[in-house]
């Protein structure tokens, strides 16, 4: 193709049978995950919401946070005349913006919402890390009850369980309340400042903006300094409120038999988090990349100009879920075969064969042959399409207003009036 390709880090989601189809870009796989998550989340009372693909820059800068990699390095901006926008890098800040702007506080509280869709981050592309990727996202607004946190985590695990993925690890921590963070960041600043010269350029900035993010640094040099200094973790700096909240979340999960590891080093890559924060990891996706993650964000609505509205949520990367399924050999469910295949035996019957298939589509999948063929050939084609019934029609059937209907699993065959076809299929 004369140099016209899709941009790096993006992908076409393709139908089954496409040559070189990679599992994480299977259109059917994406759809399966969305439908499965929709069932799990809607059974738990969540409602579907969708926000625009692009937002005002301020929503993301304020919401996600100025010190994050997402805002500092990975923003996709879009220009229209003199206006500048940002392609959404995640779903939470846009949903909270929509919640505030549309007065969704009126909904029964807490409001449970879910969405899915493309997100955009200008990262360096590699397997499992793309510039356009897709998330499944669940958010609960209006409660800071630890039971809501535990339920959110349980729902995330239920999605994993329904998918059939097993080898996961749930890493749970707490990033404390803002006042705990101020204290902890001061502790880190005091600890790292004498070594500032050795830190990466990014971490020098982090030392000023948000020292906690140094712990999350991808630089090997930074990780070596961290290993030397052995900083105490946020979890050891929780205030009473955050600590009691965290214990309660852990107690619910334990009571429900949901296995988790307390991970004091959880930092998360977004600034809005408070208290509960977690990630789900899978060995097939790689140690540095999570299958999904989430946390509480009680101050986000206020940052976006709304009233105080506690919130919590999570997101999975759809491509990464598909990679994890593939790594464990979990297959996607086979697509349902045809209910009916209609084959014309002579050219004159092609139009009527098509029309019979159109009618049967009110009951299920139905298709027809675009070419007239001998009965044996039509039956072969029907079998290839995994059809349950095949109907054959030629000029004599047309004259008599009948059709030959064969049940392909029992071999039973009869000639029936065309007007009876739907009731027979039913």
Residues binding ligand HAM (CB under 6 A): 90-92, 121, 123, 128-130, 133, 135, 137, 139, 269-270, 290-295, 313-317, 319-320
C-alpha 61/C-alpha 348 separation (Å) is 65
What is the closest distance, in whole angstroms, from the C-beta atom of residue 277 to ligand HAM in the complex? 8
What is the closest distance, in whole angstroms, from the C-beta atom of residue 319 to ligand HAM in the complex? 5
Please state whether beta strands 311-317 and 413-417 pair in parallel, antiparallel, or not at all (unpaired).
unpaired
By beta-carbon proximity to ligand HAM, the closer residue of 10 and 386 is: 10
Hey, which residues does 171 pair with through a beta bridge? 261, 279
What is the closest distance, in whole angstroms, from the C-beta atom of residue 313 to ligand HAM in the complex? 3
| Cα angle, residue 351 at apex, residues 350 and 353 outer, rounded to 5° | 65
By beta-carbon proximity to ligand HAM, the closer residue of 290 and 366 is: 290
C-alpha 354/C-alpha 88 separation (Å) is 44
What is the closest distance, in whole angstroms, from the C-beta atom of residue 46 to ligand HAM in the complex? 13
By beta-carbon proximity to ligand HAM, the closer residue of 128 and 146 is: 128
197-222 CB burial, b ≥16 within 10 A, e <16: eebbebbeebbebbbbbbbbbeeeeb
By beta-carbon proximity to ligand HAM, the closer residue of 126 and 396 is: 126
What is the closest distance, in whole angstroms, from the C-beta atom of residue 424 to ligand HAM in the complex? 48
Q: Which residue is nearest to ligand HAM (CB)?
A: 317
What is the closest distance, in whole angstroms, from the C-beta atom of residue 83 to ligand HAM in the complex? 25
By beta-carbon proximity to ligand HAM, the closer residue of 57 and 416 is: 57
By beta-carbon proximity to ligand HAM, the closer residue of 124 and 361 is: 124
What is the 8-class DSSP label of residue 9? T
C-alpha 51/C-alpha 37 separation (Å) is 18
How many CA atoms lie within 13 Å of 93's alpha carbon, on the beta-carbon side?
Answer: 28
By beta-carbon proximity to ligand HAM, the closer residue of 76 and 187 is: 76
What is the closest distance, in whole angstroms, from the C-beta atom of residue 345 to ligand HAM in the complex? 51
Type and span of the H or E element at 403: strand 402-407
What is the closest distance, in whole angstroms, from the C-beta atom of residue 234 to ligand HAM in the complex? 17
By beta-carbon proximity to ligand HAM, the closer residue of 184 and 316 is: 316
3-state secondary structure of 249: helix
Number of Cβ atoms within 10 Å of the Cβ of 318? 27
C-alpha 129/C-alpha 69 separation (Å) is 14
DSSP string, 205-247: HHHHH-GGGGGG---HHHHHHHHHH-PPPGGGG--HHHHHHHH
C-alpha 206/C-alpha 293 separation (Å) is 22
By beta-carbon proximity to ligand HAM, the closer residue of 320 and 365 is: 320
What is the closest distance, in whole angstroms, from the C-beta atom of residue 172 to ligand HAM in the complex? 14
Query: By the 8 A CB rule, do 278 and 172 touch?
Result: yes
C-alpha 310/C-alpha 83 separation (Å) is 31
Sign of CA dihedral 346, 348, 351, 353: negative
């Amino acid at each position: 193709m004369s140099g016209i390709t899709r941009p790096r880090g993006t992908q076409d989601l393709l139908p089954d049978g496409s040559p070189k189809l990679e599992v994480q870009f299977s259109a059917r796989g994406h759809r399966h995950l969305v439908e499965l998550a929709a069932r799990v989340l809607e059974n738990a009372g969540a409602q579907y919401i969708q926000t625009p693909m692009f937002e005002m820059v301020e929503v993301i800068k304020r919401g996600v946070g100025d010190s994050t990699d997402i805002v500092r390095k990975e923003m996709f901006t879009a220009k229209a005349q003199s206006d500048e926008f940002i392609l959404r890098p995640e779903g939470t800040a846009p949903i909270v913006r929509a919640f505030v702007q549309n007065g969704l506080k009126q909904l029964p509280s807490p409001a449970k919402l879910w969405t899915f869709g493309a997100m955009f981050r200008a990262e360096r592309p590699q397997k499992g890390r793309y510039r356009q990727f897709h998330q499944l996202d669940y958010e609960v607004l209006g409660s800071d009850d630890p039971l809501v946190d535990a339920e959110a985590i349980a729902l995330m695990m239920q999605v994993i369980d329904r998918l059939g993925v097993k080898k996961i690890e749930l890493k749970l921590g707490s990033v404390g309340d803002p006042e705990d963070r101020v204290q902890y960041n001061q502790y880190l600043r005091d600890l790292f400042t004498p070594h500032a010269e050795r830190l990466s350029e990014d971490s020098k900035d982090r030392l000023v903006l948000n020292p906690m993010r140094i712990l999350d640094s991808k630089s090997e040099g930074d990780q070596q300094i961290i290993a030397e200094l052995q900083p105490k973790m946020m979890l050891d700096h929780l205030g009473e409120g955050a600590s009691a909240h965290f214990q309660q979340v852990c107690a619910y999960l334990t009571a429900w038999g949901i296995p988790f590891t307390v991970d004091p080093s959880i930092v998360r890559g977004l600034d809005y988090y408070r208290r509960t924060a977690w990630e789900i990891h899978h060995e097939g996706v790689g140690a540095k990349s999570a299958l999904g993650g989430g946390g509480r964000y009680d101050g986000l609505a206020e940052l976006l100009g709304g009233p105080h509205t506690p919130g919590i949520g999570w997101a999975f990367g759809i491509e990464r879920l598909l990679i994890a399924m593939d790594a464990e050999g979990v297959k996607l469910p086979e697509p349902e075969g045809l209910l009916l295949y209609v084959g014309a035996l002579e050219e004159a019957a092609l139009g009527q064969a098509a029309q019979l298939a159109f009618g049967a589509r009110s009951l299920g999948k139905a298709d027809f042959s675009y070419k007239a063929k001998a009965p044996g050939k039509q039956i072969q084609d029907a079998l290839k399409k995994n059809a349950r019934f095949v109907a054959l029609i030629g000029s004599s059937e047309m004259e008599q207003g009948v059709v030959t209907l064969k049940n392909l699993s029992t071999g039973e065959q009869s000639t029936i009036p065309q007007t009876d076809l739907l009731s027979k299929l039913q």
